């Protein structure tokens, strides 16, 4: 099976759903941020701080290109992965792309507690975070909407919701492929 790429904004549940799908199906999860961190032995925060975003995007593209050749994997991308170079075209040509679609309200709630490891939002106040999410979604939508499929991602916040989402995802994208 060619890779399934999970894309979507920070906090849309790519890693959460990816982990649950991996344990339900036995497909290997590749979390692109973790893959980059392991390869360069540096946290995403340190890569941004020491080398800048442009260098991070270059590394991200190189690692995306590498993993896109793997078989039987789910790739949880970073929120910005689709928006640089021709990364969407690359993913669409190598596998199945699924955009996780979460509302601004859910993203805000999740990122309020999960912003520290994310350099682009780490220093924002709550009010700034909310307007940042709204603006970033607007500007990223043209890239995200190149995904072949959209999957609802508001309900990924407890074990029961995750289990239901996993079943729905498997039925739509894995059983039939």
* Structural contact between residues 29 and 22, judged by C-beta atoms closer than 8 angstroms: yes
Residues 162 and 21: their CA atoms lie apart, in Å, by: 9
By C-beta, is 98 or 177 nearer to ligand S3P?
98
- 118 sits near ligand S3P (criterion: CB under 6 A): yes
- 3 sits near ligand S3P (criterion: CB under 6 A): no
**Residue list 14-53, contact with ligand S3P (CB under 6 A):** 14-15, 33, 44
How far apart are CB 142 and ligand S3P at their closest, in Å? 15
Residue 20 CB partners (closer than 8 Å, separation 6+):
162, 163, 165, 166
**Residue list 121-150, contact with ligand S3P (CB under 6 A):** none
**Residue list 95-114, contact with ligand S3P (CB under 6 A):** none
- 80 sits near ligand S3P (criterion: CB under 6 A): yes
* Structural contact between residues 97 and 3, judged by C-beta atoms closer than 8 angstroms: no
- 120 sits near ligand S3P (criterion: CB under 6 A): yes
* Structural contact between residues 93 and 75, judged by C-beta atoms closer than 8 angstroms: no
Residues 155 and 29: their CA atoms lie apart, in Å, by: 20
Report the interface residues with ligand S3P, using CB under 6 A.
10, 14-15, 33, 44, 78-80, 118-120
């Amino acid at each position: 099976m060619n890779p399934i790429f999970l894309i979507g904004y920070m906090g849309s549940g790519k890693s959460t759903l990816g982990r649950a799908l991996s344990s339900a199906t036995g497909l290997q999860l590749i979390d692109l941020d973790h893959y980059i961190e392991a390869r360069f032995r540096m946290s995403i925060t340190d890569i941004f701080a020491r080398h800048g975003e442009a260098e991070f995007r270059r590394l991200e593209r190189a690692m995306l290109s590498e993993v896109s050749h793997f078989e039987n994997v789910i790739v949880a991308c970073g929120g910005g992965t689709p928006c640089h170079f021709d990364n969407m075209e690359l993913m669409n040509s190598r596998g199945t792309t699924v955009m996780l679609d979460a509302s601004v309200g859910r993203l805000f709630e999740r990122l309020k507690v999960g912003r520290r490891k994310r350099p682009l939002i780490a220093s924002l106040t709550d009010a700034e975070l909310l307007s940042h999410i709204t603006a970033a979604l607007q500007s990223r939508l043209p890239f995200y909407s190149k995904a072949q499929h959209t999957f609802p991602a508001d309900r990924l916040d407890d074990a029961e919701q995750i289990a239901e989402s996993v079943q729905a995802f498997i039925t739509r994208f894995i059983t039939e492929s």
